[in-house]
Amino acid sequence: MASNEKLVTKAVPFTFVLAFFSLAVISPGRAQTSPTDGAYLLKTSGESSDAALFPAIKREPSVAYSSALVPPQAGAASAADAWHITVAPYLWFPGMHGTATGPNGRGLSFRASPGDLLSNFRFGLMGAVEASHKRLVITADMLWVRLEDDKAVPLPGLLATSATMKATEFFLTSKLGLRVVNEEKIKIDGLAGMRYWHLGENLTFNPSTLGLNFDGSQSFVDPLVGGRIRVFLSPKVALNVLGDVGGWDTGSHLEYQWAGTLGYRVKARWALHAGYRYLYIDKKADRGVVFNSTMSGVMFGVTMDLK
């Protein structure tokens, strides 16, 4: 029994660490054509010495006539009325710490560095998408991570020589919002939405003579409210700050996050970002286990303006 308890004490914090590791912004050149030789003739009037160019051979409309048909504000108005879509793949390298308390009131704490989590990383996808139209803003943030570790089990009483631990985490955050401040140097969005979580854990003993293998998963949804501020420090540099809070005993008791990034626009449609992200969750899991976990670390990404 003491040996089993020692194994569980080591396995539980690692399982929580794995389960909750998560790896959160042009004007088109106006084409100009210069008149070719012979395309225009010079006309003088007896009543005035002013010269005027008018189409002669190609029968093209004059500049004044074209300007009258297309007002200068038409291009800007068309761009403002269009949808704007941005895709932002990113990488997040968090550390993790927290506690887990069982139904009997006994608990344990766990802690893992970014290096500890990266050493068990097997697969991951992370990215965000934003679509905006005038003052309407729609955002989505997705993370999918799989971690795995193999450990020798020096416990003859379990009749096993090794144990394999696997954990999968997926969450999708979707928000709808309104741009309450839309100035040239600053933009502020009010957002509301939800975050869907799916967590899977698997523990396998080799060989599994005593049938101690474990395989479980859980899913839940939390409502969220939050906001975002974007400040343009220069034509190429922008500061982004966002945050949200939710749960309120729906899916979890409480969860909240904040993040800040500094972006540098390297091209008209491309920008690089670096920053920091913090995510906290307090959740009552299956079998009466209550845990709280904090994940925080640096993040790097790139934004691509598709439209």
Structure confidence at residue 249 as a pLDDT band (50, 70, 90): very high
The predicted-structure confidence for 30-65, as pLDDT tens digits, reads as follows 334 444 444 333 344 444 444 444 444 344 444 434
Q: What mean pLDDT comes out for the span 97-102?
A: 82
Q: What is the pLDDT of residue 117?
A: 87
DSSP 158: G
Structure confidence at residue 218 as a pLDDT band (50, 70, 90): confident
Number of H helices, E strands in the chain: 4, 13
Say how many Å lie between the first and final Cα of the chain, rounded: 62
Task: Please provide the CATH number assigned to the domain covering 2-24+88-305.
Answer: 2.40.128
Domain boundaries, the chain: 2-24+88-305
Residue 301 clears pLDDT 90, i.e. is over it: yes
Predicted TM-score (pTM) above 0.85? no
Q: What is the pLDDT of residue 15?
A: 42
Full DSSP string of 100-134: EE-TTS-EEEEEE-HHHHHTTEEEEEEEEEEEEET
Question: Which of 136, 98, 140, 129 is closest to 13 using CA atoms?
Answer: 98
> In 48-206, where does DSSP find H-type helix?
63-69, 73-81, 114-118
Q: What does the alpha-carbon distance between residue 155 and residue 1 come to, in Å, rounded to a whole number? A: 11
